Amino acid sequence: MNRKPFIAAFITASIFLLSCGGNPSQAPAGNTPPPVTETAKAADDTKGVGKFTNVELTHPLDDKMIKQGEGIYDLKCSSCHKLSTEKLVGPGWKGVTDRRKPEWIMNFATNTDEMLDKDANAKALLEVCMVRMPNQNLKDDEARSIVEFMRKNDGKN
């Protein structure tokens, strides 16, 4: 049996694996991301990254939007999110409207990839969940209906 192909593959794999490690202190200059300032954190914490900067909430809750939001949840969200605080694939939805502004929720629902790349809170969720939320291609009114459904789930009036 000719062992040369196996030895060559082993050496190649070893070199590859060893090159992936390395000493972080030897990283080339300029590859370090800039530190996140408190101002940048505060901006991330409020409304997220996207076009929604002012969402007008309804009082009382809008039953039509709730029904649409529930349908979207059943179709696109329930396989990864529970309506409780329990994490499934993604975080549970209970209390989300107390933790996040409606603008943040809508920006995350409609601008998922950019939020996961740029928003501090979205990045933190990604570290916990370890799975990128797929872009569900929600329309603006669908995202707004999701917010209304979340508000109802959180016991808002």
Per-residue pLDDT of 43-93, as tens digits, reads 446 899 999 999 999 999 999 999 999 999 999 999 999 999 999 999 999
Q: Is residue 48 part of a domain?
A: yes
Residue 5: predicted pLDDT: 56
Q: Residue 25 carries which DSSP code?
A: G
pLDDT tens track for 98-120: 999 999 999 999 999 999 999 99
Cβ-proximal residues to 133 (8 Å cutoff; 6+ apart), any chain: 80, 90, 108, 112, 116
Contact 68, 138 (CB under 8 A): no
* Overall domain count for the chain: 1
The identity of residue 57, as a single letter, is L
Domain CATH code at residue 80? 1.10.760.10
Whether the full predicted model's pTM is greater than 0.85, yes or no, is: no
Q: Is residue 125 part of a domain?
A: yes
The residue range of the domain holding 94 is 40-153
Q: Is residue 93 part of a domain?
A: yes
